[in-house]
Structures are given as C-alpha cells and as structure tokens.
Structure 1
C-alpha cells in the first residue's frame, strides 16, 4: 500500500512544515525549496510513498502534489521524486555514482539536447522526448514532473511488449543515440570531456563473478542436463566477453548509451486503445559505449521467441532508418558516425550478449515474492523467487542460440 502524508500551511512559513517522522529530512528540504521557488502563499501538500512491486530497487519513490495559491493565481505542481537509498555493501556498482549520472543528465544534458533540437526546428512529434525536471534535482534526489497525472504509465515488467510499443520505444532510442552523435560533431570539446568520460557502472571483479554465477545457476535450474552443459561452457566464455561488450571494446561505433533501456523505463500513453507516445526515463546507468548493446538489450528483455521471429530484424532496420532520418535534421550523414555495414556486422556478432544478459540479470524482471531490499540485503545472500514465465522466456532464448550455433 502507498502511504500518504498531508500538510497544510495557511500562513506561508516553510520552516514550520511538519511531516510524519518517517519522512526523510532531504525530502522535506526539497519540498521546502520547491514551495519557496514556486512562490506559494497558501498551499496543501500530499505525499504518497510508492511501492513498485520490483520495478525499482535503488530508490525511495514518492508522488508529491502541491496545490494552493501564489500572490497572483491558483497553482498546482505534480511531482515524481526518487531519493537515493544507502548501502555501502552494494558492491556491483556505486549507488551514489549512478545518482550523479542521472542528476547530470537532467540538470545539464537534457537542456543541451533540447537546445540542439530547438536550433534545427525539429517538429514536436519527431523530437527525442524528455520528462521535465526540477532544478532541485541533485546527487541524492531526482525530481521530475509526474506524468502519471497526464495518463502516462509503464508496461508490466513480465509482459511481452506490443509491436506498437516496441516501434515507438526504438525510435526514441535511436534519437537518444543520435543526439550523442550530434554532440560529437557540433560540440566536440564538450563531447570529449563530458560524454566520452562517462564509464560503465558495473565493477567486473571476483564479487561480480560470484554474483552472476549464482544468477546463472538459477537461470538453468529447470534445464535438462545437455542444455546445462552447453550453457556452462558458454558461461565461462562469457565472463571475459561481457565486460568487453559493456565497455564498447568490441565495436567502432560508440556514443552515449542509456544502459538500462528496458520496458518499464519507458513511459507510454494510450488514446483509444492505441499507444501514441513513448518517453524514456531512468538515466542512472548511462555510459559511453556501443549503441547496439542498448538495442539488443531492449528487444530481448521485453520479447519472447515468437515476437523476435516476426519482428527482430524489422525493428533493427527501424532503428537504423530512424537514426538516419533524425541525423538529417542536423545535416549529418549517418555513414560518418554509424556506417550501415559496421552497424549490421556489430548487431550480428553482438547478439550473444542477449544470452549473457538472460543468464545474468533477466531473472530480476520476474521476481515474485520477497522483493529484495537493496538498502539492507546482501546480493550474494538474497533468495530470489521468479515467476514461471521467466523459465519459458529463457528457454526461448536458449533455443534461439542453439539454432544460431552459439550453444
């Protein structure tokens, strides 16, 4: 259940805001700052703590509604807030580091992206879409416009995506990557110092190897003996290759990557039963690397084998066509940043990344009971129960890579 906290102030004095004791000081301070900057005189604030059922592990999430009066008018601010959790024992990457990345994206990079699109007059319907952020966003608290109030939502994390959702999401991904290529061409010094220096967050050490070994054992637990033997050989090989994929060492094509472009990190809107808009969110895992990895991750994490048989290569082509068309707005020839032959070769030879990710991480999308609390739980000790749909999804990927000769 979401928890709700309300507060009122009829004599504008933010220092006297009183909230439930369980509400954190940083969040109180942030609400205070927004109320002050928005010049409320009389106001009511309602705060709801959100439970996501496994969609988010690294933050406390809140809906915050501020409504009231300024000296000039009635006013309302509808806010989504994500606050950092603290766990110094979380060792596969630094939680403070990924919050810094997202704060950089919303406070700085998103504004540059908007300016770039404004400068060439990209029509609203063809732009890379971004959620409005508040200037109070910082390394500990991400504050955004709450688009759920405008009927945006996320896909259930265990579903197979629809073709319509896939197309809109991949078009947005191509435009995100496209803006990185634009930065490279138009702001080379900024690109060199601010984009190329963004490293992949994961730490590939003995702890990582132990963690993914445990996850792989869960993945293959219902496979037959022959399949387990094939996967065991592939897994040993993958431990060396996976970090190369994630650091872009396998590809000449490089740009800013999203790093976690999955179905429930994309807001979408429906009208009359048709998906009309998609907006990417959650930029905590951005890094400079190979854009093909973002594309493969998105498709395989949100599809089953039947879907991929029908749509995989069409969606791959849609990505490239969108990238080409988007770069044309900036008078950039796609062949100068992402040649088609290199893109196709990279896609073909990077597909086994999908199998690696399935063995390592896909289980987290299918967790059922006892959602891990990463502010407390130690990764190597947590027990994971997954929905049976995971095993069906994984078997489809295994069968696919047997047919491809990878297993």
Structure 2
C-alpha cells in the first residue's frame, strides 16, 4: 500500500458533490477530526461547501486508513459494505418506511448520504454532518445508562424489523443478500492467534479466585477457536449491523428531554441472529453495575420494541420470531458476550494516546500489543462476575 493523501482524495469527492448540488464557484473547507481512539479504519473529516446564495453544506467524511496486513487478515470488505448500505439497503428501508407511512418517531433514522469514492485505498464515504444538528457520540470510556441504552435498542429493533420486512416484500432478493452477507469464516480463522492472545490477556487480568473458572469455561468452548459458529445461526437470520456499539451511534437530547439515537456506521453488515447485535451492544458498552440493574430489563425491552416495530410494518412478531425462539437464542449465544468482550475490550477501553493503528505491517495484531487502560481489567472482571452469577462459569 502506497501512502495516500487522504485529504486530496476527499477533496475530489467534495468537488463532485458541490457540482451535483449546484454550488457554483464553491469554497470548500476541510479539517480532520479525532474520535479519541474510537475509530481505527478511517481518517475522519468535517467539511463545509459554501457558495453565493446557497446555505452552507455541512458534511462528515471517512477516508480509508487500513493497511494491507489488516485488510488481508479481516477478509471483510468494510468499505464496500458501507457503500452498499447507503446506496442500496437504506434507500430500500426508506421506501418500506414511507410505504407504511411511519411517523418520525417510529422511523429508523440515519444520516443523509452525499457521495463516495470506491477506489482501493481511497475508499471514501461522505454524509451529512449530524454534529451540526447537535448529535454527539457517547463517551466510549463510560458505561451506557438506561436512558441511552433503551433508545439505542429501540433503533436496533427498528433496523432488525426493516430487515424482516425487506424479506417479506422481496424474498428472492433478500435471500440473495443473506447468502452474500454470510460471515466469512476465513476472517476468524486468520485471526486465531490474535483471538488466543486476547483470551490470554483476559485471563491474566482476571481476579485470582476466578482464573480457573474462566480458563475451564474457555477450554470447554474450544478455546474460542470455533467462533464462526456464532456467525452461522440456525434460527432467525436477518441482516444485522455487526458492530452495534456506542462509538458507531450518534445521539442527541431533544427539547422534551428524550434521547434520539442514530446508527451511522454500516461497515460490518452481516447475516446473523439479532441476538448477536444485542449482546454485542450490551457487553461492549456497559459495566457490571449497569448489567446488574438493567440487563434483564434491556433484554425484555428489545423484544418489546421488535414486536412494536414489526407491528408498525403490519407484521406479527410470532410469525417470524416467537418469544420461545428468542429465549432459545439468548441461551445459545450467551458465550458470544464473553468472547466478544475478551476480544474487543482491550481496544474499546484503550486510552486515546495508546489507540492502535491498522496501517502498519502488524495489522490487527496491534490489538494485543496495545497498552491497556485501568478500565480494561475492571470491565473484564465485571463480565466474569456476571457469568459466575448467572451460573455459566
């Protein structure tokens, strides 16, 4: 991979957007922004396109910043997936929502899409800048609270309901998408050493009295080497988000005090069980105290909101995902919560100055060589405590 001038790449896309939006003799300003360690695959920018007698066009952009090593290890075309989401999938969802005349409160929201560059190493997505409208990203070093988590789960349920509705309205096309977006098992196989090292890191920081329990459970699960099974569900399969965590969502507090949550990152869409998205959000974003107080409540709330979102689309949840099936999936996929925590918490909780880069020759291996924060052992031990309390470990 040769060095890419990401700003120059972006400016080419912005010039095209300015022309498409009829901004004559535009002034285009660009500046980089940081997510303080929350983003690893892209360089992020905000941009403003100005022209006489036109409102300023406030934009947000991502330009690929992933090296060859990381690309070859992951085997997931994250930039192609996001482009597909904004060009094809989300417009299809918008049409479904419009057909059913959903009110604003019942619609899934996402940022307006303006343009892209599909070229290898120059992959770019340009969206509206939601920050101008008062949206912010949740602090990844803080545990989610109920007010935020409940609204995030509402949005997740709407996303899943639209996936089901898509399958009802165009079953042939939907089956093709489910086949196309099956998880690439090779992506996990190529990261087996990384997974093993992540597990070792987790065991190392686990309290002495619980190390043996954790080690035995991991051994019982095949040392998490067969994690592909959690991406090959046998129950309800739909198009899931794949990386549903606070860093990939934006939210704002409205005048009435309620919170509105919008997913903004669609780089990891995958055919999977909806429970995987739900567990991912809970275990990556919360601490032990939140789960003690709200875990069961949030599990119940998701199903309630999925039921409501499907009803708004004139669909009956019992036809597609009975409560019994949901409970079976909750039990089946509970090991995934521990697995994804051990794998991702080192980077989710990393201090900004120690955040890994995916540009270098080590690729994703930088995850296990990154200096972890003091929050990391706290989160790991909280999850171990949960699994012991639930009778799993």
C-alpha root-mean-square deviation of aligned residues, in Å?
2.0
**Match in the other structure for 2:82:** 102
Which residue among 352, 357, 364 is the counterpart of 1:373? 357
The residue matched to 2:102 in structure 1 has which SS?
Answer: coil
Mean Cα displacement is larger for which, 137-146 or 165-174?
A: 137-146
Does structure 1 conserve the Cα–Cα contact (< 8 Å) formed by 2:59 and 2:128?
yes
Mean Cα displacement is larger for which, 282-291 or 219-228?
A: 219-228
Q: For 1:23 and 1:360, locate their aligned partners in 2 and report how far apart those are by CA, in whole Å.
A: 29
Distance 1:304 1:117, change over 3 A: same
Mean Cα displacement is larger for which, 197-206 or 124-133?
A: 197-206
**Match in the other structure for 2:392:** 406
Does structure 2 conserve the Cα–Cα contact (< 8 Å) formed by 1:113 and 1:179?
yes
Quote the offset at 1:166 in angstroms. Answer: 0.5
Quote the offset at 1:276 in angstroms. Answer: 2.5
Q: What is the aligned residue count? A: 381
**Match in the other structure for 2:206:** 223
Unaligned runs of 5+ in 2: none
Quote the offset at 1:138 in angstroms. Answer: 4.0
Q: For 2:300 and 2:167, locate their aligned partners in 1 and report how far apart those are by CA, in whole Å.
A: 23
**Match in the other structure for 1:17:** none
Q: For 1:372 and 1:117, locate their aligned partners in 2 and report how far apart those are by CA, in whole Å.
A: 39
Which residue among 93, 109, 114 is the counterpart of 1:129? 109
Quote the offset at 1:26 in angstroms. Answer: 2.4
Unaligned runs of 5+ in 1: 1-20
Which residue among 280, 283, 297 is the counterpart of 1:314? 297
Distance 1:241 1:148, change over 3 A: same
Distance 1:272 1:201, change over 3 A: farther
Higher helix proportion (structure 1 or 2):
2
* Residue 390, structure 1, aligned to residue 370, structure 2: no
Which residue among 175, 189, 196 is the counterpart of 1:213? 196
Mean Cα displacement is larger for which, 104-113 or 189-198?
A: 189-198
The residue matched to 2:360 in structure 1 has which SS?
Answer: coil
Quote the offset at 1:207 in angstroms. Answer: 3.9
Quote the offset at 1:352 in angstroms. Answer: 2.1
Does structure 1 conserve the Cα–Cα contact (< 8 Å) formed by 2:347 and 2:355?
no
Mean Cα displacement is larger for which, 239-248 or 298-307?
A: 239-248
Which residue among 218, 228, 245 is the counterpart of 2:230? 245
**Match in the other structure for 1:340:** 323
Distance 1:23 1:280, change over 3 A: closer
Which residue among 314, 320, 333 is the counterpart of 1:331? 314
1:208-258 Cα offsets, whole Å, 9 max, x none, are 12101112222222324453233223333242442111222xx41111110
| 1:1-400 → structure 2 map (5 Å cutoff) | 22-69=5-52, 73-90=53-70, 91-94=72-75, 97-136=77-116, 138=118, 140-200=123-183, 203-204=186-187, 207-236=190-219, 237=221, 238-248=223-233, 251-271=234-254, 274-368=257-351, 369-378=353-362, 379-380=364-365, 383-400=369-386
User: What TM-score does the superposition give when structure 1 sets the normalisation length?
Assistant: 0.88
Q: For 1:384 and 1:37, locate their aligned partners in 2 and report how far apart those are by CA, in whole Å.
A: 43
User: What TM-score does the superposition give when structure 2 sets the normalisation length?
Assistant: 0.91
Quote the offset at 1:381 in angstroms. Answer: 5.3
**Using CA pairs below 8 Å that are at least 6 residues apart, which structure has the higher relative contact order?**
2
1:110-169 Cα offsets, whole Å, 9 max, x none, are 111011000010101111111111144646111110000111001111111121101110
